Amino acid sequence: MSSDDLREHLGLVQIYTGNGKGKTTAALGLALRAIGNDLKVAMVQFMKSDQYYGEYHISKTLPNLLLLPMGRDCLVYEGKAKQEDYDAAEAALAKSKELLHSGEYDIVIMDEVNVTIHMGLIGVDKVVDVVKNRPPRVEMVLTGRYAPQELLDLADLVTEMKMIKHPYEKGVPARDGIER
């Protein structure tokens, strides 16, 4: 099947949520599969910088993948956000909308957007508006814990990652190449 034929079937909304590991990983797997089929993918990372995540470094070698980390270079804790976190979230949302409507990308991934909403950095109504007004034949993927019901209701596919067991519970920190 040609990439033009593949594009005819795009335009759904996917959500990867839950407290288990693998939401961003699943979105990146989807991106890799899409790139292998000559589709173009943009991923906007709402809560991540380019400092700690291996996917940013490899993305530079993949011509059909645009990866834009737009978060601050630190963890943002609930109730401890600074103005620059709000500004970064708004900028990431604006960039996501721009990429969706650019005509350049077949898939736009909004990584950690659900957490951004949960923390109150952007309103769910703004994201709902982006989803409802997306162009046809552009697939959207929204990741992060705490997916709000308003987005779940709009989605065509929802996958919940559930943590059964994780090395973090035993004090093992996030490992480069595995969790980041």
Q: Is 102 strand, coil or helix?
A: coil
Give me the CATH number covering residue 70: 3.40.50.300
Q: Using alpha carbons, select from 131, 115, 175 the residue that is nearest to residue 11.
A: 131
Q: Can you give the pTM of this predicted structure?
A: 0.91
Residue 156 counted as domain residue: yes
Higher pLDDT, 56 or 135: 135
- Name 154's Cβ contacts closer than 8 Å, sequence gap at least 6: 13, 128, 131, 132
Domain range for 94? 3-165
Whole-number Å distance between alpha carbons of 16 and 13: 10
Residue 121 counted as domain residue: yes
Residue 131 counted as domain residue: yes
Is the pLDDT at 97 greater than 90? The verdict is yes
Question: How many C-beta atoms lie closer than 10 Å to residue 147's C-beta?
Answer: 24
Is the pLDDT at 5 greater than 90? The verdict is no
Is the pLDDT at 180 greater than 80? The verdict is no
Residue 26 counted as domain residue: yes
Residue 175 counted as domain residue: no
The pLDDT of 58-69, averaged and rounded, is 90
Residue 176 counted as domain residue: no
* Mean pLDDT over the full length of the chain: 91
Residue 171 counted as domain residue: no
Residue 170 counted as domain residue: no
Domain count within the chain: 1
